[in-house]
Chain A
Amino acid sequence: DTGVSQDPRHKITKRGQNVTFRCDPISEHNRLYWYRQTLGQGPEFLTYFQNEAQLEKSRLLSDRFSAERPKGSFSTLEIQRTEQGDSAMYLCASSPGQGANTEAFFGQGTRLTVV
């Protein structure tokens, strides 16, 4: 297992375009999280899945954002009608299960630049 994988690593898009990112978690990890990190800041929680169910969404996740995890394995995060304020690093993390002691494993992130 190579850890949490995110694709693409970098994405440059024009304002108003739609973009989609993919995250492949560690096998058999049933929890998957999306975070957003802007330059010089810590990651901020966006949403998480328990298997295929999306259980919580942050108020940061506007209507232009949608996330799916159709078979409880990989996940996609789509941003519609991108804005310059969407420029950030989008991080995916997975963990094996419940419990606050459970370690979350992070991918290297997808850096989005909206021009």
Chain B
Amino acid sequence: GDSVTQMEGPVTLSEEAFLTINCTYTATGYPSLFWYVQYPGEGLQLLLKATKADDKGSNKGFEATYRKETTSFHLEKGSVQVSDSAVYFCALSDRSNAGNMLTFGGGTRLMVKP
């Protein structure tokens, strides 16, 4: 079945540091890939997405590139802020499944210190 593996946290960085959160996936079909973010006390929000190989999703300074050859979708940001502290979830939606439900990774907590 489909699965998503992402690096365990917590990841602790100083403000303005470079961020990478690794994500790899296994899918039977040709998935769309997503990063969701969960800020403290809030619901999951879509951060960015990519629907085909070599697509780059970007939003709020974050970006991730759909790498089919390595089955990866790593999240990066050049300079993190304290307000980026949250839990980040990598997810896929397998287009072979009519319901388009999401399969999530375990989440990575990011803590940014001033």
Chain A residues proximal to chain B, CB less than 8 Å = 3-4, 31, 33, 35, 40-45, 48, 55-56, 91, 93, 95, 98-109
Contacts and interface: CB of A to CB of B under 8 A. Distances in A.
Contact of A42 (B94, B98, B107): B107
30 contacts: A33-B102, A35-B102, A40-B107, A41-B106, A42-B89, A42-B104, A42-B105, A42-B106, A42-B107, A43-B104, A45-B102, A48-B101, A56-B99, A91-B43, A95-B100, A98-B98, A98-B100, A99-B100, A100-B51, A100-B94, A100-B95, A100-B100, A101-B32, A102-B100, A103-B49, A104-B46, A104-B102, A106-B36, A108-B42, A109-B43
Contacts of B91: 42
Contacts, number: 63
- Find the residue from B51, B91, B94, B102 having the highest chain A CB count within 10 A: B102
Which secondary structure dominates where chain A touches chain B? loop
A99 B93 CA distance: 10
